[in-house]
Amino acid sequence: MTDHRVLLPENVWSFDGTIESAAAAIKRAGANLPLFILDASDRSGELLIGQARAARADSELIAVSSGLGPLGRACLADFARQLAPAHDPGLIVAVLREIERAARNFVITGKPGGLKRPNPNIWQHLAGILPSRTAIAELNGSVKTFGRKGIPSSAAGGFALHNMALHSTVPQDEAGACRTLLDEFCRIAAPAQYAAHPQLTEAQSEWWGPHDAVEIVAVPADISPVIAAVKQKARTCPWCQLSTLSDVCSYCSAPGTAAHPIPRSTLKGQFA
């Protein structure tokens, strides 16, 4: 692996959508690679990073598109920083892909009718008008609304997250119902680890829709089996010397034969 294709923990960024931050990250990385975690639903991020990179003709970077919410993408960035000292960038991206596949992403809100993702049905829109209703919605899943009695036992099994690390943002001060439902969710989930993060910013809440959004993401508590599985499948690209899992290198597009080809997911790494 050439010396300049080194990923340092401080050069991993969960992209915030501004060209200024992208330019600063690329400049700070210098001769080393920066890695950006991008919102897969917003294609403008790749364009902005491309514009920021144009100022440095010799620069390379890795852009990873993720379908997770703002907190989920921040968790992926944290994993990348942890992995950076011991693994090459190609393997790191492959591990992030597997972590995202295993992750579950939720949002709690007292205004389910305002959700952008997932989209509530008409009855949930109407139920959201009632002040006593609070909802838990899973990304790419369903929206469930609950009253003052909280989560019934019939629904609790779907929220069990044993052997997972649970991360959540802190509810807004005035969102008492969201705080109560979050506490109950965490008790039912019974995760192996739990970490609280600052409240979502206004722009981050907008990704989900409601301004009172509380994001929850569950990821594997122990990623060593994930790393081992990826290493077993990976091959080294003969051109760029990075690890890849596909027949055609995901980064430099050089052809080759993967040891164990697997289907591509929505999470992709690339040299831009």
Walk along the chain (272 residues) and give the pLDDT tens digit of each residue.
344 467 889 889 888 777 778 888 888 887 778 899 999 998 888 788 877 777 665 567 888 999 999 999 999 999 999 999 999 999 999 999 999 999 999 999 999 888 999 877 666 555 556 666 899 999 999 999 898 899 999 999 999 999 999 999 999 988 899 999 999 999 999 999 999 999 999 999 999 999 999 999 999 999 999 999 999 999 988 888 888 888 888 777 888 654 433 333 333 444 33
The answer to whether residue 2 sits within a structural domain is no
Q: Which domain holds residue 199?
A: 104-220
Q: What pLDDT was estimated at residue 227? A: 96
Q: Are residues 175 and 238 in the same domain?
A: no
Q: Are residues 179 and 212 in the same domain?
A: yes
The answer to whether residue 78 sits within a structural domain is yes
Q: What pLDDT was estimated at residue 215? A: 98
Both structure tokens of 178: 């969201």
Q: Are residues 34 and 119 in the same domain?
A: no
Output the domain CATH number for residue 132.
3.30.1180
Cα separation, 113 vs 27, whole angstroms: 42
Output the domain CATH number for residue 47.
3.40.50
Q: Are residues 90 and 115 in the same domain?
A: no
pTM (2 d.p.): 0.87
Q: Are residues 29 and 72 in the same domain?
A: yes
Q: Are residues 33 and 133 in the same domain?
A: no
Please state the domain count of the chain: 2
Q: Are residues 112 and 210 in the same domain?
A: yes
Closest CA to 117 of 46, 221, 185, 39: 39
* Start-to-end C-alpha separation, the chain: 18
